[in-house]
């Protein structure tokens, strides 16, 4: 058994930290009552957003470094094929669905069903804009002079 096998992986540690934050938020909600629910949910969502932003930043930096290494070695940067962006699309969709749950709750609590509808229209719009960059007919055309 290797020493690395006994140490917790960073992703598992982060998940445990996030679980502790969620438990603390739920306990605070029980103690403070429903009038503080919106502030507690906002605080927890901010922590989740920071965690997601950090993860995305690390992935982008890693990808840029890999592309720079390929170019520095005289190769061509990887083409943007569908299979190379599957993880990005899947991750974006999963994050949208995970954040949809508390956002839906906030929308319903603050504005009823119209808040829920507005929340989901926003989620659909964000996902549509993210997916739109994959549609070739929306990409700007390059002229021969650009080559």
Q: How many CB atoms lie within 10 A of CB 125?
A: 10
Interatomic CA distance for residues 11 and 16, integer angstroms: 9
pLDDT for residue 29: 85
Q: Which two tokens stand for residue 92?
A: 């974006």
pLDDT for residue 138: 61
pLDDT for residue 28: 87
pLDDT for residue 12: 46
The torsion angles phi and psi of 80, rounded to 5 degrees, stand at: -85, 75
pLDDT for residue 145: 52
Tens of pLDDT along the chain (147 residues) come to 444 444 444 554 567 887 888 888 888 888 888 888 888 888 888 888 888 888 888 888 888 888 888 777 776 555 555 445 677 777 888 888 888 888 888 888 998 899 999 999 998 988 888 877 776 666 666 555 544
For residues 105 and 117, is the Cβ–Cβ distance under 8 A?
no
């Amino acid at each position: 058994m290797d020493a690395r096998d006994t140490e917790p992986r960073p992703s598992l540690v982060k998940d445990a930290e996030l679980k502790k934050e969620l438990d603390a938020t739920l306990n605070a909600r029980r103690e403070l009552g429903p009038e503080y629910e919106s502030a507690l949910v906002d605080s927890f969502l901010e922590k989740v957003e920071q965690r997601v932003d950090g993860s995305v930043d690390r992935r982008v930096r890693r990808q840029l470094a890999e592309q720079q290494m390929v170019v520095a070695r005289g190769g061509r940067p990887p083409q943007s094929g569908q299979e190379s962006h599957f993880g990005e699309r899947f991750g974006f969709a999963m994050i949208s669905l995970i954040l949809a749950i508390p956002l839906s709750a906030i929308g319903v609590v603050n504005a009823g069903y119209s808040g829920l509808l507005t929340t989901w229209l926003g989620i659909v719009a964000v996902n549509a804009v993210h997916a739109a960059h994959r549609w070739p007919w929306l990409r700007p055309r390059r002229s021969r002079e650009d080559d």
